[in-house]
Structure 1
Amino acid sequence: MHKKLFTIVVGLIVGHTGIFFCAAQNQTPDFSPVQVNSPLPYQVALRETSFGSASLPTLHSYSAAVHDGKWVLIAGRTNGLHDFTNSGSLNFPAQFQNHDVWVIDPATHQSWSRSLEDGSSGLSANQIASLTPTNQQFTHIGDRLYITGGYGIPGSGAGFTTFDTLSAINLDGIVDWVVNGTGQAVDHIRQINDPLFKITGGAMYEIDGRTHLIFGQDFVGGYTPGKNGGYSNQIRSFDIMDDGTTLSIANPSMTPQIDAYRRRDLNVFPVLKPGNSGTLEEGITVLAGVFTPDNGVWTVPVEIDYTGQPTMADPTAPGTFKQAMNQYHSAKVGLYSAAEGTMHELLLGGISLMTYDFGTGMFVQDNNMPFTSQSTAVVVDSNGNYSQHLLEAFPDLFDGENNALNFGANAEFFLARGIATFDNGVIDLDQLHGTTVIGHVFGGIVSNAPHVRGVAGAMSAASNRVFEVVITVVPEPATWVLLWSCGLVTLFRRQR
């Protein structure tokens, strides 16, 4: 942000389409202040980088893993934001459902792809359909990528559905198949079906061998405006049993369905916090998401403990944190400082209820949820207190008509090789020094306007741009200490 920042407290908000004195359809009518120019222990910069002549897909809402330093991408869509007609087949055209598996090497700037419809895949039409929808849930455990659900066209080619499939993909084998054409893809994929997995737009993470499928919905039939799926309103947990040949699950459980957990298309973070006797406690935090029953935005985080049990603070309590920005699924990064006991959850662009106007120094609320390149950090201190802070946005890039481009929605972050992390993938902030490229943001939806629905000249598309995520650690100020020894005064500089 080359523009000057000012500290703001959110008050009366002017929307893009009018004035909103409150946001009654959202979970809460007001929001916690977004702090500007905060003294965070780091600065974040996003800068576009070129992969030269490498072919890169236009892709969003896909599933991904980092394996041996390479990015593995599967499923998702190759066009932009879905349409809003009364025809499901027009809103989610079949030709834009991604059938390719991509392998990208960020070190050598090489890429490879192979279609799951290739004759060498050995996959049936039903298997291909279940591996190519949009908005699946995925988690990377060891050398395997596990994927559940997603919304797309079934193997019969008739209608749309949310899949009830759990897929286990051996990454060594699938990368070899894509890059070298070795064997068949089917040799490296195992699948089972169960209504438990019939979710799209949620998230999936593992803690201590137990996998948690978080929120989302079961949407059946073509998407049309105003139509809703059946929200899960719960956490579904199970143990994945996978010996490389046979895939199954054990000990499935479901938490009670809670109306305030009616959420999808959200940002979910594996997190850490101080435990007893100096230990660290793993958990999961759900930030915001959509939609409330009145088509609003959820604002109060849901915390999930290491056993998979969710809790949410009272939205009406004076001290409850209410998220103001970046409520929709975007590229995201988690960092934890064990020295400070502080978790930092970076939300990079996407779709946001509020944005910052640098001309007026005011925050602007738009209940229609505009695209934005602005980013924030949600910080949770050692006492569990939340705060939100404005970060540097994606770089200023423009289309051929000089319209500013927005990035981040439905994109993914890929960790760089050699970055120290905790067991759950959270970056160890205390191990970062100076300026470090911690990874890259790839793909997602790019738009040339805050809103593209019914706006002349506005468009959205799937992006194939790559952005480095650069963290610069900000040294804490030094203190000068006086020591009295043997009648002499010694002055030395101590770094905190």
Structure 2
Amino acid sequence: MKNCSRPALLLAGCLISASTTFAQHQTSTFSPVSVGGVLPYQVQLAETSFGSAELPTLQSYAAAEYDGKWVLVAGRTNGLHGFTNSGNTNFPPAYRSYDVWVVDPVAGESWRRSLNPDDNEDSGLSSVEATSIGTTNNQFVQLGDRLYLTGGYTGNDTINALTAIDLPGMVDWVQGGSGTASDHIRQVFDSHFEVTGGAMYELDDKIHLVFGHNVTGGYPNGTQAYTNQIRSFEIVDDGTTLSFTDAESTPPVDEYRRRDLNVFPVLRPDGSGGTTEGLTALSGVFTVDDGVWTVPVEIDEQGTPTMADPNLAGTFKQAMNQYHSAKFGMYSESAGAMHEVLMGGITINQYDWNSGTFVQDDDAPNTSQITSVVVDAQGEYTQHLLGAFPVILDEHDYYLRLGANGEFFVAPGIPTFDNGVIEFDQLPAGDTVVGHVFGGLAANADHVRGNLDPNVTSIASDMVFAVTVSILEGDFNRDGLVDLADYTVWRNTLGAAVTSGTHADASGNGMVDAADYTIWKSNLGLANTQPVSLPAATLQVPEPGSWLQVVALSAAWLVSSRLAVCPAFRRE
């Protein structure tokens, strides 16, 4: 890991400062990151296997869930794009994913079928239609049994399509059903949808296309026009004909020049004892000087964005996990708190588990670290270090940074609100697998671009990680502590049958009784503190271009594309 003389966060509560030399970020400082603090939960990731089920190497794809199965559409099957003057070189057509994958994580089975008429004449699509779906970094949203896509990048242009996919019919077709894929696909074209690298969510029956940009020509030397806005519309879809209405856009704002960001559906207290839905757009890239954005943009139920003044001392400034990654949200109705969990990706600040310090790297290194951004009932933000992906080594004992451009799939039976946010208050005490992370980029160095080591590279991952949320038994009020406040909850509900929102039934027998008191007493004094060290995460990273250091370490990074060579990985 790079040593850096710039000021760094040493302990929770200290401010991460950036030298004015690096003012390309939205702000020159970052808000404190809590290390070893107390939260109502811990989050652990563990690699898991679906047995003999074939899985794709896939990143920057669209995802849906139907009938307990994952549906994967579009994306790319190779690693980080190049930076030459050629779009086809940076985004090789051979690695564009035309396959629709259906994965059953319970049965451990998978199916795939190509939309490309050159691969599968049963797709019923033309090459142009297949290309308009098989993009990278499109925006997507699932509404019931339909998956909707907008935009995406081909390697040379941004697509202007709104695509509807009927999941029941498409899943049946992929699993060997009759007919064609086109029987279950509808499209409409308009410049309103010509966006890549944004996010798309539904609020109050209207679709909101959040930020992103329009790339014309090859990336990065083509024309990039950021939307700087939210584009909204209503979908009109009767299952036969697709159209849209009420298209509108918010005024462009320079501070909304963002893409490849994490946007969360959120819940907030409405001030009257209920909740209201909205969105929060965290961080993202790039400022006009190639920096990261740090101040979140809050979007209300009508799709109106607002951002706190970056110049105010009390404004929250995100320090870690600035790039799109696998993520999930949890909301506690009792506390009025929203928890936004970010798993891996790309970051400006990394925590060195060996020295217990943060290191700022303005070149935005790949990371496997996990953080959460918490918004309390008063709208105050805090950020917390939760840990990291497990260390997975390649055959030369270098580990992979994971999570960027991956997706999270909620597990069957996990209670969620209508917008997909997990109902934290309804999760049981103990360990609960709330879902899985699949795919995304896997990089074997902090920096792949410009690294002189020829074996440093990135790939699209086919790995699956189970995500476990752990809650202390006896923590009845869900504040991360087992203390007298929890005894009060037990006492006030003693003799009651368990109802929604009641957490004093630690024994799980459906009643609040003496058994629950015994569990509380045995755990009295425990705290759900976050990790401050990871024994496995002790590897140091060669600097990009530091060939002497690479030789001195006597270990080359080697992770070839799995499309050509499948290297041996060691899971630890």
TM-score (norm 1): 0.92
Show the counterpart of 1:413.
Answer: 408
CA distance in 2, matches of 1:324, 1:470: 24
Show the counterpart of 1:404.
Answer: 399
Show the counterpart of 1:149.
Answer: 151
| Cα distance change on mapping 1:8 and 1:341 into 2, 3 Å | closer
Residue from 428, 442, 453 that aligns with 2:449: 453
Deviations 1:248-270 (A, max 9, x none): 11111110000000000000000
- 8 Å CA contact 1:288–1:301 kept in 2: the answer is yes
Is 2:367 aligned against 1:362? no
Residue 391 of structure 2 aligns to a residue whose secondary structure is coil
Residue 219 of structure 1 aligns to a residue whose secondary structure is strand
CA distance in 1, matches of 2:320, 2:185: 38
TM-score (norm 2): 0.80
Show the counterpart of 1:203.
Answer: 199
- 8 Å CA contact 1:272–1:336 kept in 2: the answer is yes
Show the counterpart of 2:460.
Answer: 462
Is 2:482 aligned against 1:477? yes
- 8 Å CA contact 1:37–1:390 kept in 2: the answer is yes
CA distance in 2, matches of 1:11, 1:169: 45
Is 2:45 aligned against 1:46? yes
- Report how far residue 62 of structure 1 moved: 0.2
- Report how far residue 473 of structure 1 moved: 1.1
Show the counterpart of 1:487.
Answer: none
Show the counterpart of 1:64.
Answer: 63
CA distance in 2, matches of 1:328, 1:467: 19
User: Higher helix fraction: Structure 1 or Structure 2?
Assistant: 2
Show the counterpart of 1:488.
Answer: none
For 1:78, give the aligned amino acid. Answer: T
Residue from 194, 218, 223 that aligns with 2:219: 223
- Report how far residue 438 of structure 1 moved: 0.5
Show the counterpart of 1:178.
Answer: 174
Structure 2: give runs of 5+ residues left out of the alignment. 1-9, 476-480, 492-513, 525-572
Residue 129 of structure 1 aligns to a residue whose secondary structure is helix
- Report how far residue 208 of structure 1 moved: 1.6
- 8 Å CA contact 1:351–1:372 kept in 2: the answer is yes
- 8 Å CA contact 1:12–1:21 kept in 2: the answer is no
Show the counterpart of 1:486.
Answer: none
For 1:419, give the aligned amino acid. Answer: I
Deviations 1:152-187 (A, max 9, x none): 05xxxxxx1100000000000000000023211101
CA distance in 2, matches of 1:374, 1:33: 16
Show the counterpart of 1:9.
Answer: 14
For 1:168, give the aligned amino acid. Answer: A
Residue 328 of structure 1 aligns to a residue whose secondary structure is coil
Report the aligned-residue RMSD.
Answer: 1.8
Show the counterpart of 1:264.
Answer: 259
- 8 Å CA contact 1:83–1:92 kept in 2: the answer is yes
CA distance in 1, matches of 2:88, 2:131: 16
Residue 408 of structure 1 aligns to a residue whose secondary structure is coil
Show the counterpart of 1:194.
Answer: 190
Matches within 5 A, 1:289-304: 289-304=284-299
Of all paired residues, the percent bearing the same amino acid is 57
| Cα distance change on mapping 1:282 and 1:77 into 2, 3 Å | same
Is 2:157 aligned against 1:161? yes
Deviations 1:88-141 (A, max 9, x none): 211111100101000000001100000112111101112101110100000000
Show the counterpart of 1:32.
Answer: 31
Deviations 1:330-364 (A, max 9, x none): 00000000010000000000000110011221111
For 1:452, give the aligned amino acid. Answer: V
CA distance in 2, matches of 1:69, 1:44: 23
- Report how far residue 493 of structure 1 moved: 6.0
Count of residue pairs brought into register by the alignment: 471
Structure 1: give runs of 5+ residues left out of the alignment. 14-19, 154-159, 484-490
Matches within 5 A, 1:326-341: 326-341=321-336
- 8 Å CA contact 1:167–1:189 kept in 2: the answer is yes
Show the counterpart of 1:444.
Answer: 440
Residue 231 of structure 2 aligns to a residue whose secondary structure is strand
- 8 Å CA contact 1:137–1:147 kept in 2: the answer is yes
CA distance in 2, matches of 1:45, 1:72: 24
CA distance in 2, matches of 1:208, 1:256: 20
CA distance in 2, matches of 1:211, 1:412: 20
Is 2:141 aligned against 1:139? yes
Show the counterpart of 1:348.
Answer: 343
| Cα distance change on mapping 1:228 and 1:389 into 2, 3 Å | farther
- 8 Å CA contact 1:23–1:30 kept in 2: the answer is no
- 8 Å CA contact 2:216–2:223 kept in 1: the answer is no
- Report how far residue 7 of structure 1 moved: 3.4
Show the counterpart of 1:239.
Answer: 234
For 2:385, give the aligned amino acid. Answer: L
Deviations 1:48-68 (A, max 9, x none): 001111110000000010111
CA distance in 1, matches of 2:145, 2:414: 18
Residue 336 of structure 1 aligns to a residue whose secondary structure is strand
CA distance in 2, matches of 1:103, 1:277: 43
User: Higher strand fraction: Structure 1 or Structure 2?
Assistant: 1
Show the counterpart of 2:126.
Answer: 124
- 8 Å CA contact 2:17–2:29 kept in 1: the answer is no
- 8 Å CA contact 1:478–1:493 kept in 2: the answer is no
For 1:71, give the aligned amino acid. Answer: W
CA distance in 2, matches of 1:261, 1:11: 23
CA distance in 1, matches of 2:333, 2:170: 36
For 1:391, give the aligned amino acid. Answer: L
Residue 437 of structure 2 aligns to a residue whose secondary structure is strand
- Report how far residue 87 of structure 1 moved: 1.9
- 8 Å CA contact 2:17–2:28 kept in 1: the answer is no
Residue 175 of structure 1 aligns to a residue whose secondary structure is helix
CA distance in 2, matches of 1:394, 1:22: 32
- 8 Å CA contact 1:22–1:29 kept in 2: the answer is no
Show the counterpart of 1:106.
Answer: 105
- 8 Å CA contact 1:22–1:30 kept in 2: the answer is no
CA distance in 2, matches of 1:401, 1:21: 38
Show the counterpart of 1:23.
Answer: 22
CA distance in 2, matches of 1:301, 1:12: 18
